[in-house]
Amino acid sequence: MKIKLIICFVLVGFLSACSTKNVVKEQPVETSIGVVEEYLLGVGDAVQVNVWRNPDLSVSVLVRPDGKISVPLA
């Protein structure tokens, strides 16, 4: 009986560690010199993707509502 309980707790631990929800609780604050220490991309942010030696694949895209971006051949 104890082994089943231990296995149950281990499985619950593994399943809770698999959570992929990324929630931003607050935006980073600027320091006294005006440099942001950390920034997380959010929905609607613009991202410039440059592919070295292949300008046809370089694009400027917006972050989608699901938190992903779409670029050619990636």
| Environment class of 64 (CB within 10 Å of its CB; exposed 0-12, middle 13-18, buried 19+) | exposed
E strands in 1-74: 46-49, 59-62
| pLDDT tens-place values along the chain, 74 residues long | 678 777 766 766 666 665 566 666 666 566 556 656 677 888 999 999 998 888 888 999 999 999 899 888 75
Neighbours of 61 (CB within 10 A): 15
